[in-house]
Every structure is written in structure tokens, then in C-alpha cells.
Chains A and B, each alone.
Chain A
Amino acid sequence: MKPAPFDYYEPKTLPEALNLLAQFGETAKPLAGGQSLVPMMNMRLARPAQLVDLNGLRELKSLKVENGELCIGAMTRQRVLERSAIVAAGWPLLQEATRYVGHVQIRNRGTVGGSLVHAYPSAELPVAMTALEASMVLRNPQGERTVLAGEFFVDAMTTSLKTGELLVEVRVPQVPLRTGWSFQEVSRRHGDFALMGVAGLLTLRSDGTIERARLVFCGATPHRASKVEQQFMGQRPESALFREAANLAAADLEPDSDIHASAEYRKEVAKVLARRVLEQAAARALVAS
């Protein structure tokens, strides 16, 4: 249970990191918080020949608001996001979702970027970022490109990040006024991997009807219940609506069965959580009005 030997590099700047990754290609892995990669290395499920440590890159650790958008440097620790007053005020869904990530020790080292790039099916941040319609800023030695969260997650533990590319920043658009939010999940014990998790946002018009809804489920990739979202527009935020929406959304899911839970269980729990998430988001939207 000790990792295989590797060469270790500590770049001081982002260009240096990108050059190292370009030099080594497929055999190198970037090291962010290490909370997912190092367990795999300790179990020798991953054996990178080179490790490029990103922890010295200060330029990737910023957390700020620019033109109303929340700009999260990829190396921002999850715990920093969790504790941030700016995030709590403007993007409370993110804060609520982050509190479910692992345990406090994991969040002290784990990074926002690392969680998104690892794209684990039961992870909270990919679901929350999809609900918030965040954009991923990717950098390679040639330049930069931006990918929407909805297109970034391709499959379980697979994103559209290319070899040698680094996620450097996540940009989260401003949340409209009169928007309520909720993130809920079910796990066997507190801090365990989610068996199912749901993120929801509800924006109300001034007359109290629904302007917009966003409902996203954990899955191989974050599953956005787009069809159901469209049916919300103009409707009054009522329990009957939420119940029906939750049923329809959950019916569309195709979760896996594994030793932790069956697909049937996950679908059932998804239905219940979706209803609760919508109810809570609606209640919070009213308070935000």
C-alpha cells in the first residue's frame, strides 16, 4: 500500500507546469489536493511516472467576484469555498453542496478544480456547478478555452480535458434575484460517497410564478432534468407540481447498481430528494423575494 516510484516536480508558475505536462505527455499526472489521486497511487491503481505538483501555483488559488461572476481558481481548497462569506452570500448552493464533500480533513486539502476534473459519479461539486451553469477555463501551452459545465463532464471520471491541459479557473454566473436553492444527498454515513445527490434552483417572478428551474442529479455524469425544468415555467411553486416533476425526473435516470445500493433504490431516493430539494428551493426563493 505504498505508491510506486515517480519523479516529482514543483513548478513555480503555470507556464512551467504546462511545459512539464507537455514534455511528459500521458505518463504525467498533475497533483492538486491529492485526496483522490494519492489513494489511487497508494493502492497502485494509478502509477504516474511523473507527478507535477500544482500546490505552489499561487495564481490558481484566487477566489473573487468579477463582473458579477464568481471566479474560483482551480487550486482553491474546498474548505475555503465552504467558509467564504462571498460564496455564502451570492452562491449559497455551492456552499451547501461543499459541506457534503467528504470530511473536514479532506476539504482542507481537496481542491475545487481537482474534484471537477476527477469527475467522480457521486461527487457534489460537478452536480452543483452544472446546476449553476458554471464555465471551466482550460489552459494548454497554446492558449485557453472555455467549456460549459454541461459539456465538460463526458462520462464517469472522464471530462473533456485534453492531455497536457489544466483546469485553471471555474466561473460561476451571478444567480438571479428571487432564486432559492437546495442541495441534498443520501449516504450511508455522514461523509460517505453519495448514493444519490440532487441540486435545485428555482427563480421566481415578481408575481410568484416560476421563471426558471434547474434540477441536477448525481450520475455517471451530472444529469440535468431539462425536460422537467421546462415544464416549470409560469407555474405556481406548489407541492403537487414538485411531486410530479420529481417523479418524471427520477424516471429518466439510469443509475448503476453496486454493492452500496441498487439502481431501484437510487431511483426511488432520487425521486424523494428531488421533491424535497424543490420544496426547499421554493421556500428559500420566497424568503429571497
Chain B
Amino acid sequence: MGKRDICITINGREYRGEAEPRKLLVDFIRDDLGLTGTHVGCEHGVCGACTVLLDNEPVRACLMFAVQANGAQLGTVEGLAPSATELHPLQQSFWELHGLQCGFCTPGILLTAEALLKENPDPSEEEIRDWISGNLCRCTGYQNIVAAIQDAAKRMTPIRKPS
């Protein structure tokens, strides 16, 4: 089947392109749209390197076809930082607490963590580990990843002034 037109909103901006139905969403984002922050790991849905946010929920972009995302709202790691000169609190925490080494799994983990903290701003360690269990890291042993997410959660908690 020939190529289809695709229009996706990613990080608030509209992107257009075309793709064969069999083109995976992760390949479309990377190759056709040039957003290479999302990584391709296993291509069968176990490693989480391809994690993107679809309507704010983390999903595996290697298990969706680009044509399925036509008209959808996506978030990728490129959309995390509030500006070109500021880091998202999660990125800041990962940096300071060594939550990454090679960085291959990191975009997927950052997005998963962002979704977690939106749903549960004060997760326990067990809850954090449960959420990131779908993201594999070969470098860090996860300890600093968990610490970084806990640190970011603290940073992101608004300070309440006593009344």
C-alpha cells in the first residue's frame, strides 16, 4: 500500500509527513521528522527506549505504526526542557545524581518518570520501581535512577506557605 499523509502534534508543534503503513512510529519520529531523542532498542516492546507520551501517557513507539498517530498529541524527550537554557527538574536531578551513563535508556525513563510524577507527585520507592520496570537500563543498576526521580519529586513539589 502506498504512503499515507500523516499530521502529528509533537511537543505542541504540528509536524507533517508521509509514510507506508508499516513504518513504525518511532522510525517516523526519528527518520522522517528528525527527532532523534527517542531511541530504538529492541523493536519488540520490552526495553522502553522508544517510550513517547501519547496524550500524556507513556507508550511504546515501536509497537505503533506512524499512520495510527495521525491527528494525535505526542510528547517526546525534546519537549521536556522548558526552554533552550533551562532543564526540566527531572533532567536536573538525573544530571546531579548520575541517573544516567550512556544515556540510551534515559529519554524513555524521563518521559515515564514525568508521567508518574504527574499522576503521583510523591511516589514511594516501590511505586517508582513499578513504573520504570518497563524501561531497561544496562549501565546504572537503577539505583541512581530511582534516587534521581525521588529527588525530582521533591523539587517539583510546590512549597506551601504556612497560612
Please report A residues at the B interface, Cβ cutoff 8 Å: 1-8, 10, 34-35, 38-39, 42-43, 51, 53, 55, 79, 102-106, 108-109, 189-191
Contact = CB atoms under 8 A, between A and B. Distances in A.
Given A35-B45, A39-B44, A43-B44, A102 B134 contact: yes
Contact of A108 (B20, B54, B130): B54
Given A104-B134, A108-B58, A190-B129, A34 B63 contact: yes
Contacts of B151: none
Interface of B: 1, 4, 20-22, 24, 27, 43-45, 48, 51, 54, 57-60, 62-65, 67-68, 112, 115, 129-131, 133-134
A55 B68 contact: yes
Nearest to A8: B21
Given A8-B67, A55-B68, A102-B134, 19 more contacts: A2-B24, A4-B22, A6-B21, A7-B1, A8-B21, A34-B63, A35-B60, A35-B63, A38-B45, A39-B63, A42-B24, A42-B62, A103-B48, A103-B133, A104-B112, A104-B130, A105-B60, A106-B134, A109-B60
B31 to A, nearest CB: 12
The main secondary structure of chain B at its interface with chain A is mixed
B24 A191 contact: no
Given A103-B134, A105-B51, A105-B112, A6 B22 contact: yes
A12 to B, nearest CB: 13
A104 B58 contact: yes
Nearest to A40: B44
Nearest to A7: B1
Nearest to A5: B22
Nearest to A33: B63
A187 B68 CA distance: 32
Contacts of A35: 45, 60, 63
B21 A51 contact: yes
Contacts of A53: 68
Contact of B64 (A4, A106, A109): A109
Nearest to B115: A104
23 contacts: A1-B43, A2-B43, A3-B24, A5-B20, A5-B22, A34-B64, A35-B45, A35-B63, A38-B63, A38-B64, A39-B44, A39-B45, A42-B62, A79-B57, A103-B134, A104-B115, A104-B130, A105-B51, A105-B134, A108-B57, A108-B58, A189-B133, A191-B134
